[in-house]
Structure 1
Amino acid sequence: MQNRITELFKIEFPIVQGGMIWTSGWRLASAVSNAGGLGVIGAGSMYPDVLREHIQKCKKATSKPFGVNVPMLYPDIDKLMDIIVEEGVKIVFTSAGNPKTWTSFLKENRITVVHVVSSLKFALKAQDAGVDAIVAEGFEAGGHNGRDETTTLVLIPAVREQVHIPLIAAGGIATGMAMLAAMVLGADGVQVGSRFVASKEASNHMNFKEVVVNAKEGDTHLTLKELAPVRLVKNKFYYEVQKAYTKGASTEELKTLLGRGRAKKGMFLGDLEDGELEIGQVSALIHNIKPAGEIISEIMSEFTKRKEEVTKW
C-alpha cells in the first residue's frame, strides 16, 4: 500500500505506533517497524542516557525506519535532541509544545519532523512552522490530550480542509475499520496508541495491560485540564482527583496531589490504585494481549476486507 505517509517514512503500511510514555521502548518500536509500520520510541519517560540506549538497541533489532517521540513539556529536551541527532534518528515526532521551537533544528539535521496537535488552530501553526506531517489527535485518545475535546470524527476533516501536508489521524483507532474511517475522512495514515499498550512487546506492566483488556465503555475520563489534560482510567487516584475538584482545589493543590512519578507508578510499576493509568476510550474494544506484528496484520487485514465491502455498496 503506497501513499504520502508510506512514501514519507519509507514504510509498508500507513500505521504509526504512538510514542507513549512507559510503554514505547525499543522492543515495541522495532517490532512494529519489522511488521511494516512505523515504530516510535517514547522519549517522554526517558533520561537522556536511557533514550540513547533504546535508540541503539532499536537500530540493532530492526533495519527498517523508526522514530522518536519527544513531548516538549518534559525537562532535558536539548539533551534528548542532541542524542537523536548523534544517533542518526531520521524521524522525530514532537508534541505538547510549540512546533517552531525545534523544527528548524531537526530539519537542518535532515530529520523528518511530525508534530502532534489536537485542534485545527495548532495544525495550521505546525504547518507554518515547516513540519513534514501532522498527527491530529482526537478527544478519544489516551494520555495527554486537547482541552477543546474535539473528537476525531470532527477534527480530521476540519484539518484536512485547510492543511495540505500529510495528515495522520489519532484517537480511537485500534481496528482496521477505524483506520478505513479515518482515511475516508481525509487522513493519509493513522497513529495507533492504546492497542499497542496491550501488546507483548510494550514495556508497561502486565497489571496495566490487564486493566486495558478488561476496560469497559465509560471507564476512562479526561481530567486535570488545569495542568495538562490527560485521559485516565477511573481508579483510586482518579477518584482522589475528582474529590479534590469538588472541594475547589487550586492548581497548586492539584500539582501536589499528582506529585512526581505518578505515571511511572501506575503504568510501569503496576500500582493500579495509586498510579496514573493513561489509556484511550478505545480500550473498551481491546480484549487481548498480542504480539505487535499480529496487531499490525489484523488491522491491515480488516482494513482491506472492509474497504472491499464498502466498494460494493
Structure 2
Amino acid sequence: MNLITQLFKIQYPIIQGGMVWNSGYKLAAAVSNSGGLGLIGAGSMYPDVLKTHIQKCKKATSKPFGVNVPLLYPDIEAIMNILIEENVEIVFTSAGNPSLWTPLLKEHHIKVAHVVSSTKFALKAENAGVDAIVAEGFEAGGHNGREETTTFTLLPMVRKAVQIPLIAAGGIATGHGMLAAMILGADGVQMGSRFAASEESSAHYDFKNKICSVQEGDTQLTLKELAPVRLIKNGFYNQIQNLYAKHATKEELQYLLGKGRAKRGMFEGDLEEGELEIGQIAGLIDDIQPVSEIFNDILTDFESAKKTLNSLDF
C-alpha cells in the first residue's frame, strides 16, 4: 500500500478525473470496480441530478468512489448538503478557495483532496486542512491554471513544499507516465483524457471518436480572460481566435462563449460549434475501450516501465 491507496482504501493509486459531461456514475463505478477511485463530475450536474448519480453509483459499486466539485459552482451550498446527506466519503474540490468548505466536509468525516496549479495554492490547500493535493499541469484538458506550468515542472516543486499525499494530473495516460510522476514525487495519479475515451464515459460518441483522432498540437489553452480552458481546435476555437485578432474585450469573449457550449460539444456531439475540452495527451489515445481494459493496459505498461527503469545503467 502507498499513501493514496491507504487514504482512499483503493487497490491502485489511479484516480479518474471528475470531468464535466464525461464523468457520470457509470464511469465512476467502472473505475472503482477496477481498483481505482472513480469520481462523479458535479460541475455539469444540477443538485438533483448529482443526487441521482450518487445513489446509482452506490448501487453499481461497493468500492470507494468520490465526487469532484468546482467550488465556483452556483449551487455550491445545495451540492455540499447533498454530499453530506448522501454520506459521500471522498470529495475532490477545485476552482476556488478550499478553506471555505473543507472544515465542513471534514466535520462530517469526508476525505478532501484539492486541485491546484501552483505551489502557492498547494500550500494554501494544505493549510486549509485537505487530506491530499492534486498538482495539475497545464497539459490537462478542461479548466487550467493561468501560469502554464507543466506537470513535471510543477510536481517536484509542490512535493518539496508540502507534506501531505500528492497526486499528479495533466498529461498522464499510460503506465510509463504514471511511473514517471511517482519518481518525481507523486503518490498517485489522476487521469482524465484516457477515461473520457472509454465505453463508460457519458460523453457523446462523436466526441470520444474525436479524442482518438487528436494529434500533437491539436489542442490549445485559451480564454484566459474568463477561465483558462484547453480545447480541441475546431470551428468554435477559430471564432475565439478571430475575436482575439480583433482585440476583443472580455465581454465580447463571454458573449461568444454563451451558455451550454461545453454540453453542446462533449455531451451532444457538436464537433464544430461546441466546446471540446481534452488534454494534450489525447495525441496518445487511439481507441475507445472499456475501463477494465484501460486499467489492464495501464498496469501492464507500469510494470514494463519499472523493468526498463531497473535495466538502466550509467
Alpha-carbon displacement from aligned partner over 1:45-101 (angstroms, at most 9, x marks no partner): 000000000000000000000000001122101101100110010000000000101
Alpha-carbon displacement from aligned partner over 1:27-49 (angstroms, at most 9, x marks no partner): 00000000000000000000000
1:262 aligns with 2:270: no
> 1:163 matched to which residue of 2?
162
**Secondary structure of the equivalent of 1:311?**
helix
Q: Which residues of structure 2 form unaligned runs of 5+?
A: none
Aligned AA for 2:39? V
Per the TM alignment, residue 308 of structure 1 is displaced from its structure 2 partner at its CA by 2.1
**Secondary structure of the equivalent of 1:32?**
helix
> 1:252 matched to which residue of 2?
251
> 1:139 matched to which residue of 2?
138
Alpha-carbon distance in structure 2 between the residues aligned to 1:176 and 1:38: 16
> 1:227 matched to which residue of 2?
226
Aligned AA for 1:133? A
Per the TM alignment, residue 293 of structure 1 is displaced from its structure 2 partner at its CA by 1.3
Aligned AA for 1:147? R
Aligned AA for 1:80? I
Runs (4+) off by over 2 Å: none
Alpha-carbon distance in structure 2 between the residues aligned to 1:116 and 1:160: 14
**Secondary structure of the equivalent of 1:69?**
strand
> 1:213 matched to which residue of 2?
212
Alpha-carbon distance in structure 2 between the residues aligned to 1:306 and 1:210: 28
Per the TM alignment, residue 223 of structure 1 is displaced from its structure 2 partner at its CA by 0.1
1:50 aligns with 2:52: no
> 2:148 matched to which residue of 1?
149
Q: Which residues of structure 1 form unaligned runs of 5+?
A: none
Per the TM alignment, residue 296 of structure 1 is displaced from its structure 2 partner at its CA by 1.3
Alpha-carbon distance in structure 2 between the residues aligned to 1:126 and 1:119: 11
Aligned AA for 2:49? V
Aligned AA for 1:173? I
Alpha-carbon distance in structure 1 between the residues aligned to 2:264 and 2:283: 23
Alpha-carbon distance in structure 1 between the residues aligned to 2:101 and 2:296: 34
Alpha-carbon distance in structure 2 between the residues aligned to 1:57 and 1:269: 22
RMSD between aligned residues: 0.5
1:119 aligns with 2:112: no
Alpha-carbon distance in structure 2 between the residues aligned to 1:66 and 1:224: 32
Per the TM alignment, residue 312 of structure 1 is displaced from its structure 2 partner at its CA by 2.3
Task: State the identity as a percent.
Answer: 68
Alpha-carbon displacement from aligned partner over 1:159-180 (angstroms, at most 9, x marks no partner): 0011110000000000000000
> 1:73 matched to which residue of 2?
72
Alpha-carbon displacement from aligned partner over 1:243-284 (angstroms, at most 9, x marks no partner): 101111111111110000000000000000100000000000
Alpha-carbon distance in structure 1 between the residues aligned to 2:73 and 2:245: 29
Aligned AA for 1:178? G
Give matches, 1:15-94, under 5 Å. 15-94=14-93
Alpha-carbon distance in structure 1 between the residues aligned to 2:294 and 2:213: 18
Alpha-carbon distance in structure 1 between the residues aligned to 2:88 and 2:301: 31
Equivalent residues, number: 312
> 2:99 matched to which residue of 1?
100
> 2:173 matched to which residue of 1?
174
- Could you state the TM-score of these two structures normalised by the residue count of structure 2? 0.99
Aligned AA for 1:155? L
Aligned AA for 2:79? L
Alpha-carbon displacement from aligned partner over 1:195-231 (angstroms, at most 9, x marks no partner): 0010000000001001100000000000000100000
> 2:277 matched to which residue of 1?
278
